[in-house]
Amino acid sequence: MRRRLLGGIWAAMSLALLACHGQTSDDDAAFGRRVRAYLLSHPEVLQEVSQRLDARQEAAEETDQRKALALLPRLRSEVERDPRDFVANPNGAITVTEFYDYRCPHCADAAPKVLALIRDHPDVRFVFKEMPIFGPTSEHAARAALAVDKAGGDGVGLYQAFMSARPLNDGVIDRIARQKGARPEDLAPGGSGGFDKHLADTGVLFTKLALGGTPAFIVGDQIILGEDMGAVDAAVASIRAKRA
pLDDT digits (tens, 9 = 90+) for 111-160: 999 999 999 999 999 999 999 999 999 999 999 999 999 999 999 999 99
Comparing 138 with 36, the larger pLDDT belongs to 138
pLDDT at 137: 96
Non-local (6+) Cβ contacts of 154 within 8 A are 148, 180, 181
Across 10-19, 45-54, 196-205, the highest mean pLDDT is recorded for: 196-205
- Cα–Cα dist 97/99, whole Å: 7
Over the chain, what is the mean pLDDT? Answer: 87
pLDDT at 35: 75
Phi, psi of 129 (to 5 degrees): -110, 110
Q: Is residue 33 very low, low, confident or very high in pLDDT (cuts 50, 70, 90)?
A: confident
Average confidence (pLDDT) over 188-213: 88
Length of the chain as a residue count: 244
Supply the CATH classification number for the domain 73-243: 3.40.30.10
pLDDT at 202: 98
pLDDT at residue 224 greater than cutoff 90: yes
pLDDT at 14: 54
pTM for this model (two decimals):
0.77
Q: Is residue 26 very low, low, confident or very high in pLDDT (cuts 50, 70, 90)?
A: low
pLDDT at residue 10 greater than cutoff 90: no
Average confidence (pLDDT) over 5-22: 54
pLDDT at 120: 97
pLDDT, tens digit, 9 for 90 and up, residues 62-113: 666 788 889 999 999 999 999 999 999 999 999 999 999 999 999 999 999 9
Q: How far is CA 35 from the centre of its chain?
A: 39
**Extents of the domains making up the chain:** 2-62, 73-243
In 37-68, which positions are buried (b, 16+ CB within 10 angstroms) versus exposed (e)?
eebeeeeeebeebeeeeeeeeeeeeeeebeeb
